[in-house]
Amino acid sequence: MVNMQRWWLRVGGGGRSYIMILWQRWGKREWAIAAVGFAIVLLAFSFFLSSDSSSPDQFSGTTDTDFVPLVLLRNAVQRGAYCLDGSIPAYHFQKGFGSGTRRWVLHIEGGGWCNTVASCSFRKGTPLGSSNFMEHQVQFSGILSNDPSHNPDFYNWNKVKIRYCDGGSFAGHPESEQKNDTKLFFRGQLIWEAMMDELLSIGLSTAQQALLSGCSAGGLATLIHCDDFRGVLPNDAKVKCLSDAGFFLNEKDVAGNATIQSFYHDVVNLQGVAGSLKKDCVAKMEASKCFFPEQIVKRTNTPVFLVNPTFDFWQIKHILVPGPLDPNDSWYKCQLSIQNCGPEQIQVLQGFRNSFLKALLEFEQMKGGGMFINSCYIHCQTWMSETWHSPNSPRINNKTIAESVGDWFFERKVTKYIDCPYPCNPTCYNMDFTGKRLH
């Protein structure tokens, strides 16, 4: 039996609301769906967390807590674009106003991947594999907030949240369905294309400025499709991409095993992802290696901004120290809260940070790119107003993530920020799942 540990997580800058989520002590059989388990936690977390602002937006008459309805893709059946279970993909759309009527920000939802028929079959019974389970309305916050005090540069833009229901970062191809003889739909690429067609038809085609963003697996999808996004928009439009917690390392675990590379290999083979990856990369190396962001960003022509913690708790749990390597729970308390990590564990985590920075060296030299690489124990940071832009948000050089992204997008200044090592930054939001407050 899988052991479960309850976490009570305090959320909100000054609020007292708590969310009970579950940490699973993964065994070997459970590793295959580890990403799905985390994805569901992340998804549930996002439903509860919203901006702590209750003041009306003086420009639009709305607040961060406005609910934005779910929209099913109208052209999905015609395009053969289906979620894992065959349901219709969906998105949420909020119209821009004022100076933002011809400006667009898109955000791709995160939620891990499925790498086996079993894990994809499980996933199709969740909102991450079927629109039948998606809530009919969601609250926008962070980069999708319409409150200028929480989102100073993008608050009045047209805003789209793209729901994630394919399990392959919108990169699967239907040819793999017959090869694997399943009742699953691997249509990620077709979903992406149908989504772009629909958004173009409702105003994206006349965009003057556009930012494609995404969190976690959605951040990886952002990188995969960044140049495609640039290609469907007007030539004179300013178009850039933002990946939040989507820079997954091709790093061996503490036992020297290529755990994440093996996992990605299974995802790519199962869902036929190779057809959506950079062709010059796939021609030179095994396709699953081209699923790693380090290989994607060096081949991307559109300007990219990376937001990522070097102490990314998802990567530490699933790449660096996956469950089967911790049978005695020697890492368990450390993974619940970085404050519980011993000196030797901190040294291992600092080594992971060093590998992260090494993987960024080539990107760091690229013209037009931007970075906000902090040393916080967290994962995504752009979809919450608390971490995106608030009085208590993480900062580097006294800049919030929102301010840094805005400076980069509008070319107000070069923005390539790399934090000092943990625990030097007192502004960090470090996730704590032991029952203590977020610190």
Give how far Cα 173 sits from Cα of 3, 181, 214, 284, Å.
36, 14, 21, 21
Distance of CA 83 to the CA centre of its chain: 18
Q: Are strands 370-374 and 416-418 parallel, antiparallel or unpaired?
A: parallel
Q: Is 213 considered catalytic here? A: no
| Residues 410 and 419: beta-carbon distance below 8 Å | no
Q: Is 197 considered catalytic here? A: no
Residue among 52, 147, 166, 312 flagged as catalytic = 312
The radius of gyration of the chain from alpha carbons, rounded to an integer in Å, stands at: 20
Give how far Cα 242 sits from Cα of 87, 296, 383, 439, Å.
28, 13, 12, 26
Is the sign of the CA dihedral 49, 54, 58, 60 positive or negative?
A: positive
Residue among 92, 173, 225, 379 flagged as catalytic = 379
Q: Which of 275, 250, 282 is nearest to 263 (CA)?
A: 250
Q: Which of 210, 33, 228, 212 is nearest to 109 (CA)?
A: 212
Residues 6 or more apart whose CB falls under 8 angstroms from that of 337 comprise 377, 430, 431, 432, 433, 434, 436
Distance CA 380, CA 142 (A): 11
Residue among 46, 51, 141, 216 flagged as catalytic = 216
Q: Is 227 considered catalytic here? A: no
Kindly list the catalytic residues.
216, 312, 379
